[in-house]
Structure 1
Amino acid sequence: MPTESRPDVKPRPTSTHPLHSPDFYAGDPYPAYRELRKTTPVVWNDTTNFWALTKYEDVRFVSGHPGLFSSTKGITIPDPEQPEPVQEGNLIFTDPPRHRQLRKLINAGFTRRQVTLLEPTVRRIVADIVEGIDPSREYEFAEEIAAPLPTRMIAEMLGAPPEDWERFRTWSDAAVGTADPDIEMDSLVALGELYEYFTALIEDRRSGRVTGQDDLLSILAAAEVDGERLTDADLLNFSFLLLVAGNETTRNLIALGTAALLEHPDQLAMLRSDPSLLTCAVEEMLRYTSPVTHMARRATADVDIRGQQIKAGDTVVMLYGAANRDEEIFGPTSEQFDITRNPNPHIAFGAGEHACLGAQLARLEARVMFEVLLGAYPSIELTGDVTRLRATMVPGVKRMPVRLKASV
C-alpha cells in the first residue's frame, strides 16, 4: 500500500545516463560528465543503486575519510549479474588500521630508491620492444607495443621466468574484461590459475629453493615492520593486485596517451620539439584520459555531500574521469589536452589512504616508453578506429591500428 510522503526526505536525483554500463565507459563519457558536474554533481543511479560523484573536491573528500567510506564491501560499480569480487585481506579491500599496516610492509618494495633502481630494467624492456618494430607492417598498438612493457616488468619484478610473460597478460585481461565478449578466458578460471601460479612462486622463496633473489616477492617475503611480516596469503593477494592493477593501467596510460597525442597533433609536435616536456606530458595524459574510471566505497554512516543525504550502507562511486576535468580545479581549459599544464593536481592514481602504490613506477614506464618510441619513430599514424574494452573500471584499448615510420 502507498506510504505517506515525508517532507524532510528529499527525492534522490537520478541520472538519465547509464553510469552502470560498460558501454558508457567504453564510449565517450565526457559530455555526460560535464553535464552532471553542472546540474547534478551527486547523482543516484537507480538501475544498480549507487551514488556517483563527479566533482573533484567530493572525490577527495571520500578518498580522505576511510572511516566514513569503507573499501571492505567492494570497490567497483555494483553489477547485479555478478557478485562483488571482494578478496578479503587484499590491500585494496582493507580499511585502517589494517590497511596502514599492510601498506607499510609493502612499501619496502616501492620506495623511491627501489623504483629508481628499476629504470635500467624498464629501459632494456622498452629497447627490446622498439627495436623489434618492423616499419613495413601495421601494428595493434595496445597489444603489440604498449602491453608488453608492464607485463614483462611485473613478471620480472615478481621473479617469473620470461616464458610465462604471455600467460600474465591473458590472466590480467580476463580479470578486468569480464563484460567483454572478446575475452575468451573466464575470470574465475583466470583467478584460479593466477593463485596457483603465485602460490608456487611464494613457496619457492619460503622454502629456500630460490635464494639470493632481489625480486619483489623476495623483498616482501623478508620485509619486517615492528616485528610483523607479510603472510603467504598477504603475498598472494598482493601479487594478484600488482599484476592486474600494474599491468592494465600502465598499458592503457601508454595507449590512451598515444591516442591523445595523435588526436592533438599540435601537442605531439610540441613534445617532439621539446622532449623536456615529457614528464609534464605524462601527467596530462593521466589527467585527460583517466585510465581507471572509478573506485567505489560503502558509506558507514549517514553523511551529507552537496545537500544530498548519503545513507549508511549506500555505495558511493568516485568518477575520476569527471573529477579530472572539473572546471573549478582545472579552469576554462579543463576539457583541453595541454602537455604544458602546470600545476596539474589530477587524481588519476586516486587519493588518500588508497592512492596507487605503484604510481611512480607507472610514470617511469610511460616516460621511458614515450622518450624511446618518439625518438625512434618521427611518424606514428593511426590507420583505423580506436575501440575500447567493455569494462566499467578499466575500459582499456582493445584495438588501435598504427603504422610507425622512422622518417617523416
Structure 2
Amino acid sequence: MNVTLRQVSAQAVVNEARERAYSIPIETIDVSRPEYFRDGTARIYFERLRAEAPVHYCPESRGGAYWSVTKYKDIMAVDTNHGVFSSSIDYGGIGIQDVKPIYRRDSFIAMDQPRHADQRKTVQPMFRPQNLDQLAQQIRERACKILDDLPRNETFNWVDLVSVELTTQMLATLFDFPFEERRKLTRWSNVATAAPGNREIIASEAAREAELQECGAYFRELWNERAKRPMHNDLLSMMAHSDATRHMDDDNLLGNLILLIVGGNDTTRNSLSGSAYALSQFPDQDRKLRDTPSLIPNFVSEVVRWQTPLAHMRRTALADAEVGGKQIKKGDRVVMWYISGNRDDEMFADADAFMVDRPNARNHISFGFGIHRCLGLRLAELQLKIAWEELLKRYPKIEVVDEPTRTLSNFVNGYETLMVRIPG
C-alpha cells in the first residue's frame, strides 16, 4: 500500500499526542474529549491512565466531573455491581453527560431492576438461538448480494457499501421496517449518537430533537398497526403486545427504539469496518485467516475486542464505594472505558496487536457484563461471521488505500469512511 498524505498526517498527530499525553499533569487528562477518538489518539491517554492512574478522577469536562475506570478487572467489578452502580436515567443515564430533563427518555439500558428486566425480556426472544438460526440464511443471502455487487478495480467507501448496508438491512428485518426506507434507521442512529457540536451530522440540539421526534412519530404509526394485528416475530410487534411495554408513553417508546437502533447498528457496523482495517494493518493475520478459515469465529471475537465499537458506559454511585483503591462518593459519575479494558496487557497479552488466533479473545468486554450485557451480541457475531465467510470465498485481497476517517464521538468508536479497492 502506498503511503498517502493522510497517513503521514495521521502518524504526525499520533506522535504529537504521545508527547503531550505523557508530559501534561495526569490530573488534567480528560479522556472524554471526542476529538481524541476522531484522530485515533485516545488509546495513548488510556495507556498512561492504565499505567499510572487506573481509576482516575477528572474534575472538569464538558459533561462535568467523572471517574474513569480503565483496567479490565476494575471495569468488571463496576459492571457486575448494579446494586451500587446505577444505570438509571433518574441519576443521569449511561453517558458521561447527564441527560437533560427535557430530553429524558426511558429505555431498559438506562433502568435499574426490576423495570430493566421487565422491559428487556419483552424483546429477548428475537435473539434466542432458534430465531438466529432462522435469520442466518437471510443474512447470508443478503451478504452475498451486497458482496457480489461491489465494484472491482476502483476505490469505494467500505463503510457505506458494506458495513452500513448489511447492518441496515438487518435492522429493517428485525423491526419489519419498510425496506425501501431502511436508510432512515441509519440516519436516526447517527443523529442519536452524534457528539454535541458535531455539525457534520446535527446543526444543533434542537435539530437533533426534531429528527428524533420524527423517528418516534414514524414508529408510533407502525406500532399502532402492529397492535391491531396478532403478534408477529418482529421487535415492534413484540413490544406492542407485551404487558411490560404495551402501555409505554411516547418518550419510553422512543428511548427503547433508539437503544435498539443504535445497538443493532453501531456494534456490527463498526466491527465490520474495523475488521477490514485491522487486517490491512496486520497483513500476517490476514494471511493466517485466509489459510485457516476455521479461525473466523475467533477472529470475530478479536475484531470486537480490538475495535470496541462502543467506547464506554457510565454508572452513578448509589453509595460510597471503593474501586481500584480509590474512594468513590455517592452520586459520583463512574465511566467504564471498555475501549481501555480491552487493551489491558494484564488481561490480553500484547493487547494492541491484532491476533486472529488470540486464545482468550472471547473474554473481551465490548458487550458489557452483568444485567446490561448486550442483548444482541450473538446476532452481531453471526453477521460478522457470515460476512467474512463469504468475503474470503470471493476476494483474495481487499486493499485499504487510505487512513479511515473516524467518528467524532467518545461513545461510538467507529468510522465514517474506509476507502478500499478490490483488485479485479
Q: State the TM-score, normalizing by the size of structure 1.
A: 0.89
**Distance (Å, rounded) in 2 between the aligned partners of 1:17 and 1:109:** 42
Kept after mapping to 2: 8 A contact 1:87/1:93: no
Tell me the alpha carbon deviations over residues 193-223 of structure 1, each in whole angstroms, 9 at most, x when there is no partner. 1111111111001123xx5743232244345
Which of the numbers 367, 376, 383 marks the counterpart of 2:385?
367
Q: Does 1:310 align with 2:325?
A: no
CA 1:110–1:292 in 2, change beyond 3 Å: closer, same or farther?
same
| Residue in 2 that maps onto 1:347 | 365
Secondary structure at 1:330's aligned position in 2?
coil
Which of the numbers 10, 23, 30 marks the counterpart of 2:35?
23
CA 1:24–1:85 in 2, change beyond 3 Å: closer, same or farther?
farther
Kept after mapping to 1: 8 A contact 2:202/2:208: no
**Distance (Å, rounded) in 1 between the aligned partners of 2:135 and 2:419:** 30
Query: Any unmatched runs of 5+ in structure 1?
Result: 1-12
CA 1:328–1:232 in 2, change beyond 3 Å: closer, same or farther?
same
| Residue in 2 that maps onto 1:204 | 225
Query: How far 1:85 sits from its partner (Å)?
Result: 8.7
Which of the numbers 36, 46, 50 marks the counterpart of 2:49?
36
Query: Any unmatched runs of 5+ in structure 2?
Result: 1-24
Which of the numbers 58, 81, 86 marks the counterpart of 1:65?
81
Secondary structure at 2:27's aligned position in 1?
coil
**Distance (Å, rounded) in 1 between the aligned partners of 2:50 and 2:231:** 53
| Residue in 2 that maps onto 1:177 | 194
CA 1:125–1:15 in 2, change beyond 3 Å: closer, same or farther?
farther
What are the within-5 Å matches in structure 2 for residues 265-344 of structure 1? Answer: 265-331=283-349, 333-344=350-361
Q: Does 1:245 align with 2:263?
A: yes
Q: Does 1:164 align with 2:177?
A: no
Kept after mapping to 2: 8 A contact 1:74/1:84: no
What are the within-5 Å matches in structure 2 for residues 80-119 of structure 1? Answer: 83=100, 87-119=104-136
Kept after mapping to 2: 8 A contact 1:54/1:322: yes
CA 1:86–1:64 in 2, change beyond 3 Å: closer, same or farther?
farther
Kept after mapping to 2: 8 A contact 1:261/1:267: yes
Compare the two structures and name the one with the higher helix fraction.
2
**Distance (Å, rounded) in 2 between the aligned partners of 1:129 and 1:358:** 22
Kept after mapping to 2: 8 A contact 1:217/1:235: no
Query: How far 1:88 sits from its partner (Å)?
Result: 4.2
Q: What amino acid is aligned across from residue 221 of structure 2 in structure 1?
A: A
Kept after mapping to 2: 8 A contact 1:74/1:85: no
Kept after mapping to 2: 8 A contact 1:74/1:86: no
Kept after mapping to 1: 8 A contact 2:314/2:336: yes
What's the % identity of the aligned pairs? 33
Query: How far 1:271 sits from its partner (Å)?
Result: 0.6
**Distance (Å, rounded) in 2 between the aligned partners of 1:212 and 1:188:** 31
Which of the numbers 224, 231, 234 marks the counterpart of 2:247?
231
Query: How far 1:86 sits from its partner (Å)?
Result: 6.5
| Residue in 1 that maps onto 2:13 | none
**Distance (Å, rounded) in 2 between the aligned partners of 1:74 and 1:91:** 11
Q: Does 1:141 align with 2:161?
A: no
Q: What amino acid is aligned across from residue 276 of structure 2 in structure 1?
A: T
Kept after mapping to 1: 8 A contact 2:192/2:208: yes
CA 1:14–1:116 in 2, change beyond 3 Å: closer, same or farther?
same
**Distance (Å, rounded) in 2 between the aligned partners of 1:85 and 1:130:** 43
Kept after mapping to 1: 8 A contact 2:285/2:356: yes
**Distance (Å, rounded) in 2 between the aligned partners of 1:86 and 1:14:** 34
Query: How far 1:343 sits from its partner (Å)?
Result: 2.3
**Distance (Å, rounded) in 2 between the aligned partners of 1:135 and 1:231:** 51
